[in-house]
Amino acid sequence: MKTKLKQIYYDMRHQPVIAWVTFFATAMSVFLIMVIIMMQNVKSAPFAPESCRDRLLLGVNLHVEDIEDQDINSSSSLSSVAARVLYDDIDGVEKISYYHKWMDDSEVSVPGGESCMAQLRKADAAFFNIFDYTLIEGRYYTTEEADALMPLAVITETVARNVLGDAPWTGRDIVIDDRQYTVVGVVRDISSLAMTAYADLFVPTALSDTEGDRDNLLGQFGAVMVVKEGVDFSHIRQQVKARYSTLDAMLAQSGMRAVYHEGPYEQEVISNDDLYSNVTPDLTSAKRMHLIIYAILLLVPAVNLSSMLHSRLSRRIREIGIRRAFGCTRKRIIADVIIENFIVTLLGGAVGVVTGVIFAATYSGLYNDYENFRYGDTPVMGALLNWQTVGVALLVCFILNIFSAALPAWYASSLKPVEALNSK
């Protein structure tokens, strides 16, 4: 290994343009791939307060259509009745919470004071048992308080400081959209990239609250579930699908039926930009597009790097000839070229990964298209970098190395010793 490092150092000194272009081309290719991967990781990788994403299922939509004319249809979130029918008492579910899928842009102030805008989410008490918020003062409202729809609020630290000033904050009254609430708890600020758990304010709701319900079992509710360890998601979906017959019986009198779209959905589906309430989600096209992008980002630089490596080896023909004359096998020549190139590729890849992580962690413009994105928000490091990401980076470096080094290595090994020694 020490000899190979000396050889790489020698090449970089005597062929600096080719060597450094190879290095930075590798770094740029890995950088672009890592940024794309990390943008996808933010949508599905577990991070606080959504640390249970790998066991999370969300039932958030319902689609109903006319039995005779499918062009007559409607879709939205669930009514309290539909939520109960579909998701109450499902085998294999460890925890379940009912919440309002859509947040409200609300005006918040102290009585008689200046107001500020914040995003309000209505959720039951079980919501705080599913997501691991950091409680910095007070408590969460209880199930009994939520069922009674008591005017209580859990707010984030930023809202507390902007509206109430200095701590302590709990026990004080605030006005949300002209209604007075008492602050019972304050949590640390939540990343807006936590798509389900995010809000600035939380106030109680329960399935007994039918204010937002509409005809045909549509309303404002969604169900978020944590599946028990070892339970397959398909087991949950089969039960939910069977319950659609109950909804159909309820809709039969109005000539409508419920359309099953393979819910509830895991985090990867929920975070998909093409998820609509009246369409069965399909991630195949999105995954295919990502594979095409990865292929382009691998193949284009690999072709250029291959020609550069060929140029580097052309200046080492006599060295290769001497090694062949002293009995070095073709396999050894190929292995040495690939290993040397892999070291350069790995060094460039490491620079690409570090640069990509810094870029993704500091440039919030990457996430402007995300639902509920708050300008200036950036993800926590755990959402960007994990062992899977590192593994992908190493795999990218390995593939890039094989694609770029295989042909030049074969060419170098195929040189006859006499021809190599006589070359200029």
Question: pLDDT tens digits, residue range 341-379?
Answer: 777 777 777 888 888 888 887 877 777 666 666 655 667
Please indicate whether residue 371 or residue 404 has the higher confidence score (pLDDT). 404
Q: Say how far apart CA 366 and CA 359 lie, in whole Å.
A: 9
Say if residues 301 and 25 touch (Cβ distance below 8 Å): yes
pLDDT value, residue 14: 53
Tell me the pLDDT tens digit for each residue of 193-247: 888 999 999 999 999 888 878 777 899 999 999 999 999 999 999 999 999 999 9
pLDDT of residue 338: 73
Output the pLDDT for position 349. Answer: 79
pLDDT of residue 224: 96
Name the token pair of 207.
Answer: 């399935």
Contact 67, 210 (CB under 8 A): no
- CA–CA distance from 259 to each of 70, 77, 256 (Å)? 10, 13, 10
* Res 157: pLDDT: 94
Report the mean per-residue pLDDT for the chain.
82
- For the record, the structure tokens of 334 come out as 């190929």
pLDDT tens-digit map of 137-151: 999 999 999 999 999
pTM of the model: 0.77
Model confidence band, residue 38 (pLDDT cutoffs 50, 70, 90)? confident
Range with lowest mean pLDDT among 41-45, 251-255, 336-340, 374-378:
374-378
CA dihedral 59, 61, 65, 70 (to 10 degrees): -110
